[in-house]
Chain A
Amino acid sequence: MLTLALILFPAVAATLLLFVNGETSRTLAFGAALLELALAAYVFVGFVPDAKTQFAFDYPWIGSLGIRFSAGVDGISLLLVLLTGLLTPFIVLSTFNRNYSRASVFYALMLYMQAALMGVFTARDGFLFYLFFEAALIPIYFLAAMWGGENRIPVTFKFFVYTIFGSLFMLVALVYLYYQTGPINGAPHSSAITDFYNLKLTPTAQGWVFWAFFIAFAIKMPIFPFHTWQPDTYVESPTPATMLLAGIMLKMGVYGLIRFILPIVPIGVEAWGTTAIILSVIGIVYGSIIAIRQQDMKRLIAYSSFSHVGLMAAGVFSQTETGLQGALVQMLAHGINVVGMFFIADVIFSRTNTLQLDQLGGITKTTPKLTVYFMIMLLGSVALPLTNGFVGEFLLLHGVFTFNHYLGLAAGFTIIFGAVYMLRMFQKSMFGASSTRTESFADLTGSESWVLLPLAIMVFWIGIYPVSFLKVTEPAVVNLMKYIGTTAVSLK
């Protein structure tokens, strides 16, 4: 039942918010997001670490067809529910020093977005998942198209059409899977995801279903070469929308790989997984090499995010337990780091009106707080041990390395290039001589610090004591490994 609350509460709050005017709307939105965080935290704490779905609800939706409105939280959903709950209030808080026109609509859209995301991560029915998957696109589209930069209209239109286009393939696959299920409980077919798991599809069918899902998720994440919508969209969107996109929304793709592709079409993965992993690894190297040369901070972070997501996908397709666990932890970690990074970029932009690295520099002289938080987020991003990024990358790289040593080596270049572009960004913006734009740079304000402090705490918590997250996801991952079965590569 709690899951229903997780989905409905932000939606209801958002609807109410539409009737509130101006300034108060953001305070209310922040309050609502905090309550949702409390709910998500309660779910996280109350979750019993086993493979079962918990806090679930299940109503007939189109009962005669066996399509049900059912959702719940298992070990794979849990960290993403936590991530969505955790990031949204701080994304809202990050806007407290900025002014957005039509504020109530702005914040309502963010909460609608949260509701849809919660739905995506908890849906237990294939069509319900699809519904939320598409629903999440609508608020983010309006956020980007209404409050974005100069070039927002063509950029967001491309983003919208591109991702819808990908989802259509998934819809076809879902319908196909639905028709493969037998009669259950008086209904002719079933669209429950667990029923999809038990299908015995022919290898050919598995290949087709694999690609249908893969294209949908690959565009969403994105995986090379489906990524060209991403940098422009990240740059043109208002920063809170970018945070939602990079911090949470792209995890829908990774989540989909784990939830659908691996267990439903294991033979398809066996046949095409190598192709997918190679694309992912190309993305890692490609994205980071491009990031090295970027002048615009937001674009640099966009490419680095693209590179990091490639590693998650590669870990998932390695079909190892370490790869999967790594992907789950890294989704949480990456969400935190990328939101922190984009926020720091936003802080810098709000004071200097530029994100061009050659126009920045010397900021650290007047900003001890910003420097420390920036450094912490950077360390998380470059995966220094004892920060959150390390746990994820260590497990992911081990997974990929176990799958194939050379791919592991290629993927490992992320730790070298990551250091190159992140330290370059840090040095060019924070160190060196001040420019005219950065001379009187003011340090973080109170509310800005309050955005970064919880993120920084999470960076170290996940880094120093990751067991509190790994333990809760483990049973679900072990369970998932059973479906992967024959192709699984386990330790030793």
Chain B
Amino acid sequence: MSGSACHRRAYLGAGLVLAVFGLLALVGAGELLAQDASQIRRYGDFPIIGARGAIWITAQVHLMFAAFVLGVPMFAIVVEAIGIFGGDKRYDKLAKEFTRLLLIAYSATAIWGAMLTFALSSLYPVFWAYLTTIFGPSMWLYAALFIVESFTLYLYYYGWDRWSAGKAKYGHWGLGILLNVWGTIVMFIANGWLTYMMSPPAEVAADTAPDQVQLWSAIFNATWMPINIHRILANVVFGGAIVGMYAAYRFLAAKTDEERAHYDWMGYIGNFIAIGALIVLPFAGYYLGREIYEFNQQMGITMMGGFMSWLWIIQAFLIGVLFLAGNYYLWIGMGRIPGAERFTPYVKYMLIVLVAGVIVWATPHTIIASRDEIAAMGGTHHPFLGALGVMSAKNTAVNLMILTTFLSFMLYRRANKIPVVSWARSGTIAQGAALAIAAVVVTFYGVYGYFVTAIVRIGFSVYQVLAVLAAMLLVVVLDVMMLRGAQSRGEIRWGQMPARSQYALFVLAVTFTWLMGLMGFARSGIRQHWHVYEVIRDASVQAATPALGPAATMISVCVLIFLSLVAIIFWLGGLAEKPAHKDTADLVIAVPSPAQAGGEA
């Protein structure tokens, strides 16, 4: 076993033990509630940043690592499967490289999870006792699954080379699937705790004793499944973006063309996965938003039209950056694909659609305006721009942006290929028609939405989404069929990318991370001054929900901590790759394997 492997196991083991012991010890906090709550201080304090600041940072950084370690295995198994079924060893190597990053990140996740648990139990002891009384059994299950997941990860990574061929390889892939299953269940359990705080069951009131709350009813609350789905997709996006950032750094630091080519390709895969999942993420977000309105209209209105209304303008700005940076990376990438130059004239039109879409999406409408703002606008809504800020315009904009990004991907994919099937021309026309029809349907319902009532207009967004999804599905199916046995216009010149393209990957990763922090604030902030919405009031001195400015500063601090730690992880990953100097390398090679040693004895 190499020294670096020993260290990794030590990190992982330490984090695991810390997290599990922390959790198990604190499950006992439920006993506190059974004792005399009046003798326990309700809130603790934390130096400088206060109790809430401490919880905010530990929870957010833990969630960022958790998203990474849940997202990476998802596409690790997809990439491994491509390697297995496609017979391309590059994919297998890539999947293993992803998993190596995962191994170190996993211990960081556990350590931050333990810190969060300690922070909760010491800074919010009574509320923590309340939660553990309700969710105690699920916390034990969480801890048990965490251990099982950890050992599955050990097996998955350390068994990679041993089970690399034949039936054993399928078994190894099965381990990867199991790893995802455990990780997803762990996430679902934790989501039950946090969504209970947001949308407790209707039968739970302020005077309901926690031991009277049914566990399954508490977990299966109104926003549990929407959050589960949203987080699965968001984790894939996030994992892809972080891997893309890792590849970008390695590309910039590469010494050889071979290295540069490998990391260019890895960056492309990371970006492809991140943007691919991002395209469907708004639909999951829409489902979550709808369920929040279904649960409590007031909460929905607070979120979209109340004190949080400006948050969505910032979100639109961030998503605009994501779409623009993602497409920019693709368009630059076309420079290394023979034949892609024939699509270059279309880039400017796609850019116009994207920029216009971002502008419309970021137009404020239903926000709380001050008297000065009302005076400046000449009314509660802007006389001209107000019309662009309504849901009809925004839905139209985002759907057209999604279609445009999808088109960028398809052009990238098609760039160096010549279809040889007899129906290639009519197939291409059908693809174009499908996209055009989807754009017309989206625009039609966008305009029509101005002439109907709000409830009818909301229903139109479903037609818009369905039109876009149907078009994308049809185009992909046709493309796969059409490009079977296609001729090549030339190999992609991996590695021949300008450095600025790699910085776009950094912007993507930073933006995804920041956006995750912003959405965390939105989800948590809509509870306002409630620990559990309308059930347990936050009576601490920091109960007021901060405005977006201070929240943004906290989010940036969290992102900076996370990215700094990720940089250390990348550095550790680099250390593990090669021996310190030649002598050590010679030594490693000179040591006989146990089998050889035994044979000689």
A binds B: no
